[in-house]
Amino acid sequence: MTGGALELVCPAGTPASLRAAVDAGADAIYLGFRDETNARNFPGLNFSRDELADGIKYAGSKGVKVLVAINTYPRAGNPGPWRAAVDDAARLGAWAVILADIGLLDYARQNHPDLRRHLSVQASAANAQAIKFYCDEFGVKRVVLPRVLTVDEIARINDAVEVETEVFAFGGMCVMAEGRCLLSSYATGESPNMNGVCSPAEHIHYEERDGQLVSRLGDFTINKFREGEPAGYPTLCKGRFRACSRDSYLFEEPVSLDVSNILPDLMKAGVTALKIEGRQRGKAYVAQVVSAFRRAVDAAARGEQPDTADLASITEGGQQSTGAYEKGWR
Amino acid sequence: MSDSLKLTLGPLLFNWPADQVAEFYGRIAELAPVDTVCLGEVVCQKREPLLGGTLAEAAGQLADAGKEVVWSGYGLIADEKDMAATKGLAESSEGLVEANDITALPFLQGRPHAIGPLVNVYNEDTLRWLVARGATRICLAPELSRDAIARLTEAAGEAELEVQVFGRLPLALSARCYHARAHGLHKDGCQYVCDRDPDGMAVDTLDNEHFLAVNGIQTLSHSIVELSAEIDDLIGIGVTRFRLSPHHVDMVAIAHVWRDLLEGKRDLPRARRIIQTVAAFAPPSNGYFHARPGAVALNN
């Protein structure tokens, strides 16, 4: 963190993205191992142990920290992969681990007391009391806040707790309380909590019907698009459904989160770090978003209103939202 | 053996008028062969004033009828008001309090308490940690499979493990109220439209497949989990408590079916027939238990 600026925590799904994010001005990189121990368990993504070691070395040479997300819930009868992920993150010199499960937090606290522990958004700690609980019991140093809070609520939380807070700044938006959503497994058998995936690609198929493109997840239709209409990825909660005899994006429009125009408010609210979503994105996207946020964060730190025009072009479907950060969202 | 097997009526998740709630619990007290009844607003704190003293009266009736009353806390504790209410619940309740959000735990630490299905307990380490802090009863998250449940019962020690065997599945919570949104309203001015759907608002796909049900800030399954055919397996792997989630149907009849099952009267075709007749508004599902998508219904 430099001179009171918000710390910029950036995603890396591959070693190439890690380098791109570091070079574009990230303060920290978060990533996961190539297995179901992290919440972006997608084919072709994530890091082997050797790649993590190299990544930490490269990031470290530029003064950038590496955080390892181990934020799915260990499976009953098989804690091995999750414990090994914590052990290896510690052994390879990660700056912090990002955890959600109580049992795993306890394991890390007991076995690696000096390894910095962050609370994943997947733990859904949405108020000061819950945050204090994780700090008191597991020595958590930073909490990634759920995307369900308004800026005012974030400010009140920061007044009430000692711990650092990190908020989501840009990218995909969960409309449900994170870590407490089983919609994906209801349709596909695979969930963020258990498998590190939401609406996974292998359960998606498309059909052409009556001049429309129909996207299906498992046995359920998630959306239909007329010819020429941009077809977004059929994440379950971003689908179009029928309720009260009306078809609509019942849960959320296909928008992406962008807080760049409220950075000064977030600084005032006492936030320590900004998290950019997108470990599944390519290195060009990562470089573009990280450098735009680098400029915006530095501008905000100088007391200027950030220029956010270059971010608008990257957002999903061109639509942006400050999401739950503004109360009107609810 | 049936003495150690208990039937729990979970908290009423929907916004019913106070007189209906009073009548519902009056009937449960008088007629339903359940051991435990969970009372309390779990979904939306805005509904609570609508009930006035109805639940307190119901608690008295249920206790007089020899049933254990458990108070269930909020599922999503967001602001100071929710927190104060949760603290009040923990401090004022004589019986067990069921935590449905981690936030409630510090208020309950060191005294026996229950953990509800909205708290994530996926593995033995977490289970043991919670039991060491005073959890005596844990209702597991609906997405756990038979194998996961079996592992957890092995690790539970003295704690009782409970599984929901009837009712729509609680799948998600949000800061946003989807009932209000579907009616073009905002959460703060919701006009309590959730009272129009006593079992949740139908959410269908654009191909008219029934899919989900919205209940204010909560999203439920359209299907009703129905694990009567799995009863031997559930008992075999050490589950001792069975949760029926209330719906706007004859819950006394559902409770009788399950009491018979727990007492060894295993006429499964009859049980299935009664459950599907009484709760005809949605089809049964059992996918999660069999490590399949939750919406799936397997014949077994």
Q: Could you give the domains of chain A? A: 7-173+255-329 (3.20.20.70), 198-248 (no CATH)
Calculate the CA A2 to chain-centre distance: 23
Identify the pLDDT of residue B1.
44
Does the beta-carbon distance from A186 to B294 stay under 8 Å? yes
Q: What CATH code would you report for B2-168+223-286?
A: 3.20.20.70
Are the C-beta atoms of B71 and B40 separated by less than 8 Å?
Answer: yes
Regions in chain A scoring below 70 on pLDDT: 1-3, 315-320, 324, 327
Q: How far apart are CA A275 and CA B105, in angstroms?
A: 28
Binary contact (A73, B208; C-beta < 8 A): no
Structure tokens at B273: 């027939």
- Which of B126, B205, B217, B221 to mutate to test binding with chain A, by most A CBs within 10 Å of its CB? B205
Q: What pLDDT does B214 receive?
A: 98
Instruction: Identify the three-state secondary structure at position B42.
Output: coil
- Grouped pLDDT means (10 residues each) for chain B, 300 residues: 84 98 98 98 94 95 98 91 89 90 93 97 98 97 98 96 98 95 94 97 97 98 98 97 98 98 94 97 98 93
- Joined together, the tokens standing for residue A9 give 């925590």
> How many angstroms separate the CA of residue B14 from the nearest CA in chain A?
17
Mean pLDDT score across all residues of chain B? 96
Which helix (H) or strand (E) element contains residue A102? helix A102-111
User: What are the boundaries of each domain within chain B?
Assistant: 2-168+223-286
What predicted TM-score, i.e. pTM, was given to this entire model?
A: 0.95
Task: Indicate yes or no: CB of B141 within 8 angstroms of CB of A182.
Answer: yes
A309 C-beta neighbours (distance < 10 Å), count: 9
Do residues B142 and B117 touch, judged by C-beta distance below 8 A?
A: yes
State whether ipTM is beyond 0.95.
Answer: yes
Question: Taking Cα atoms as reference points, which of B98, B101, B146, B148 lies closest to residue B120?
Answer: B101
The pLDDT score that the predictor gives to residue A315 is 63
Angle (nearest 5°) at CA A247 between A325 and A201:
70
Q: Report the pLDDT value the prediction gives residue A57, as an integer from 0 to 100.
A: 98
* Crossing angle for the helix pair A128-138 and A151-160, to the nearest 10 degrees: 40
> Closest by alpha carbon to B127, among B164, B155, B160, B162?
B155
**A288, containing H or E segment:** helix A283-301
Closest alpha carbon to A254 in A233, A228, A285: A233
Name the residue in chain A with its Cα closest to that of B289.
A189
Which residue(s) pair with A256 in the sheet? A320
Alpha-carbon distances, residue B120 vs A224, A231, A261, B89, B234 (angstroms):
34, 34, 35, 21, 20
Interface test with A, best of B80, B122, B288 (most A CBs within 10 A): B122
CB of A206 within 8 Å of a chain B CB? The answer is no
